[in-house]
Each structure stands twice: as structure tokens, then as C-alpha cells.
Amino acid sequence: MVPARTSREVAVEVLHRVDADRAFSGTLLHRELERAALSAADAALATELTLGTLRHRAEVDWVLSRFTRTPLNQLPSRIRAVLRTGAYQLMFLDRIPPWAACAQSVELTKRFGHAGTARLVNAVLRRIASSPVTLPCDEDTPDGIALRYSHPLWLVRRWVERFGVQETRALCRANNLRPAAAIRLNPLRGGLEAAVAALRAGGVRTAPSALLPEGARIVESDPQARRSAYAAGWFVPQDEGSMLVARLLDPRPGDTIVDACAGSGGKTTHLAALMANRGRIVACDVLPAKLAAIDRQCRRLGVTIVEPRCADARRLAEAAPGGADGVLVDAPCSGLGVIRRRPEIKWRLSADQLPALALRQGEILAGAAAAVRPGGRLVFAVCTIEPEEGPAVAARFRCSQPDFEPLPIAAWPPGAGGAPPAAAIPGSPGTAFLWPQRHDTDGFFVAAFRRRT
């Protein structure tokens, strides 16, 4: 393939890769935008076409099915992506003239297909433009919610059963909104005020977070200004919910902390900042590439207390043999709490995949517990809101680990005047949820424990 040259080509290529190769949209979109070197406006359009089409795929596909006899799953992946992005423009983007959406889609089809597919795309999109259709959906039923808000029916059904119709609609609606450009300010370069001032001087205007002092949201900036501020180590792109998870561990200067599933180091470096860069953090992951990413993050941010270590979280006693003051377990999960950032997740998962994920989480949590010293803290978190994963795993852990007691969560979310939360597990303190529709964060389940002395 020749590298993409326009915003629509970028969107089609990313959607093709997401569909055909099960790639993640965020990482791939960033890579394709870097290769294409688009203007800020064109990069924004590519992002809107990619993520918007994924968010509203069920509705887009239903409309397409009204105007073509060829099932979408029988078309080549890139042609399917052209049709979806074209229909999305016609249905959701008023600022793009219908003739432009149709014409550009046909030109893309000529690049990826042949004369027959170009005629198909032209005919289908022109029919949609000239004869818009209304969704025949009742928003008081799971089927209607699933179509109107483009979520898989199995997921909507279980949410309606748990939360009711109104809350399910609100959750699905929140999942389809574009999340704020949340960032974590880095105080290790001179303090939070210095970070805000440096961002402002570089052309990045922010608004403070209502949830925590180191959080902010980017209000205005151009991509180059943002890249420069990032390279200088002034901030980390991070959702406020993710920041709240690290704060829940309450790390203190001088502590020994273990990040059991450190990934690329977002929460690891946050822990270091909360510790004022004093103490010791062992950041564990099984993938060398992740450990290399942690090392790069630490150098960029000025973090000096992190020790990346290749270690299986299920055997964490070897990572901190003297016992850690705190252990963070940000366990692998379905990711169904971050649909608004990774909309492809909702189209990839099924209910029968959740038990295996929960089993793995339980093994990791039990292994991580071995690294906690008497009196030490253990925080378990997953970016999902499904009961089989976080809540059930935490409940089993409590039953099987009598040395650990729940650590009450005083207010949730902290920093926003939150009241003590109703326990996420009935009858069990020290557990809580974050909800996209209530807190404007990613969805998380958290459980906090203390090892008895």
C-alpha cells in the first residue's frame, strides 16, 4: 500500500486494519497520521471519521443495508470502510456537503477497488444523500437502544438488567461522546504551576480538573505545540479515572511500591510524582517492549526511582522480597469501561470471554498479594464495569485471603466533594466504580485492601 495522503485515506486504512487485523484504533491512527503529515484540520477530520464511524457503526450499517443488496461482510474490508465513512459523513457531519462526501468516497474506491465497486459506492451513497431514513427504534427496549446508540445487543441487554433502561441509555450515550483531552501535569519539572505556565507559554491552554490537582484538560492547542510540551516532559496524556486509581494507593515519599502490571508506565510515573521522586518503585511487566517504554517515559518526565523489571505479576513476591508498602494491580481486562476511547472494543467482545479474563485477574491479584508487607496497601483496578471481572474477583479474593481487610474509601471520586460510595460489592466496603455517564471519566472498578499486621 502507498501511504495515505488525505484524511479520508487515513480513516479508511485505519478502519481496514481494525477490521481485518484486529488492530487498536488509537495506536494505529497516531501512526498513520504521523506518516501522512496532514495539516491540523485534516488530522482532526481523519480522527473524526475513524472514531465516529466506529462509535456509530451499528446505525451506519443499518442505513447502508437499506440501500444495498450486497451484505457488507461480503465486500472487501477497504470498500466496506469507504462505504461506512461515506455514510457517516452523510448522517452525522453537517459541515461536509453531501456531494463532497459522495465524490471523495468514489475516488477512494477507485484506488482500492475496481469500476464495479466504484459504481456500487456511488449508487449507495447518493441514495442515502437523497433519501435519508429514520431509525425504527424504540429507545425503551434493548433492541432499540442497541441500534440507536450503536452498542452490541448482548451488552445492552445485560446493562438494562443491571441498571434499567434510563441508566443504560445514559451509559451508551456517554460512550459515544468524544472524551476530553485529559492530561496529567508533571510536578517533577518544577511544580504544577510551572507545568501550567510552560504549557501556556508554548501555546497549550488548559482548564483544571475538578477531580484532582494534577489533572487538567486541554482546551486549545495546535498539534506541534502539544508535541513540544510532551517532549519537554510537562505532561502525560491520561484519563482522570486512571489518575484516581493511582491516588487510591496513597503512595508516600520513601515508600517501596510495586506496580504489578505496569504496561507503558502511565500509572507508574504518576506514583513516582505522588512520592515526590523519593523511595522505590518496581514496575513489572512480562513484555520487554513495555519495559523499554517505561524507561523512556521516566527519562522524559525526570523520574529516577523506577526499576523496570520483567516479572510475571502472578509471582510478585520475587519482585519485592522484603515486602512492599503498596502494590497496585491494574489488571488486564475486557476494557469495556473505555469504549469512548477505544470504540472497537464493543464490537470485538462477547460475554463468553469474560470468565477467562476474570480467572486471570484472580491469579494476578493473589500473586500480587504476596508482595505486600504487614500493614501494607493493595489496590486492585480494572477498566471495566462488568460484574464477572472486578467485583467478583475482589469478592473471591476477600474470601480466600483472610490476612487482607477492606480499606475504606472515604470519598469517591476524591477531590469533587464526593460522598462515601455505596460499595460496588453489596456488603463489602473498600470497593467503588467510576462511570462515564456520571463522572465523565473512563469506567473503572476499584478495590482497596490492607494487609493485617
Q: Range of 73's domain?
A: 7-130
Contact 89, 48 (CB under 8 A): no
- The DSSP string of 296-364 is HHHHHHT--SEEEEE--GGGGGGTSTT-EEEEEEE-----TT-TTT-TTHHHH--GGGHHHHHHHHHHH
Element (H, E) at 327: strand 324-330
Give, for all 453 residues of the chain, the pLDDT tens digit.
555 689 999 999 999 999 988 888 988 998 998 888 888 889 999 999 999 999 999 999 999 999 998 899 999 999 999 999 999 999 999 999 999 999 999 999 998 888 889 999 999 999 999 988 888 878 899 999 999 999 999 999 999 999 999 999 999 999 999 999 999 999 999 999 999 999 999 999 999 999 999 999 999 888 889 889 999 999 999 999 999 999 999 999 999 999 999 999 999 999 999 999 999 999 999 999 999 999 999 999 999 999 999 999 998 887 777 789 999 999 999 999 999 999 999 999 999 999 999 999 999 999 999 999 999 999 999 999 999 999 999 999 999 999 999 998 877 776 555 555 555 655 568 899 999 999 999 999 999 999 998
Same domain for 304 and 168: no
Task: Report the distance separating Cα 175 and Cα 437, nearest Å.
Answer: 8
Contacts of 48 (CB under 8 A, 6+ apart): 93
> Residue 137: inside a domain, yes or no?
no
The bridge status of strand 256-259 relative to strand 280-285 is parallel
Domain containing 114 — which CATH number? 1.10.940.10
Residue 409: helix, strand or coil by DSSP? Answer: coil
Same domain for 390 and 267: yes
> Residue 120: inside a domain, yes or no?
yes
Q: How far apart are the first and last CA of the chain?
A: 61
> Residue 2: inside a domain, yes or no?
no
Cβ neighbours around 9 below 10 Å, total = 23
Same domain for 294 and 398: yes
Cβ neighbours around 1 below 10 Å, total = 9
> Residue 135: inside a domain, yes or no?
no
Residue 13: helix, strand or coil by DSSP? Answer: helix
Element (H, E) at 26: helix 25-36
Q: How many CA atoms lie within 13 Å of 437's alpha carbon, on the beta-carbon side?
A: 13
Q: What angle do CA 337, 366, 321 make, to 5 degrees?
A: 120
The bridge status of strand 306-310 relative to strand 280-285 is parallel
Same domain for 164 and 39: no
Domain containing 187 — which CATH number? 3.30.70.1170
Task: Report the distance separating Cα 416 and Cα 62, nearest Å.
Answer: 41
Task: Report the distance separating Cα 322 and Cα 409, nearest Å.
Answer: 27
Domain count, the chain: 4
Query: Which residue intervals of 164-216 are DSSP H helices?
Result: 165-175, 192-201
Q: What angle do CA 35, 36, 42 make, to 5 degrees?
A: 140
Instruction: State the amino acid at position 307 in one-letter form.
Output: E
> Residue 433: inside a domain, yes or no?
yes
> Residue 40: inside a domain, yes or no?
yes
> Residue 384: inside a domain, yes or no?
yes
Contact 200, 176 (CB under 8 A): no
C-alpha cell at 146: 442497541
> Residue 378: inside a domain, yes or no?
yes
Domain containing 400 — which CATH number? 3.40.50.150
Q: How many CA atoms lie within 13 Å of 370's alpha carbon, on the beta-carbon side?
A: 13
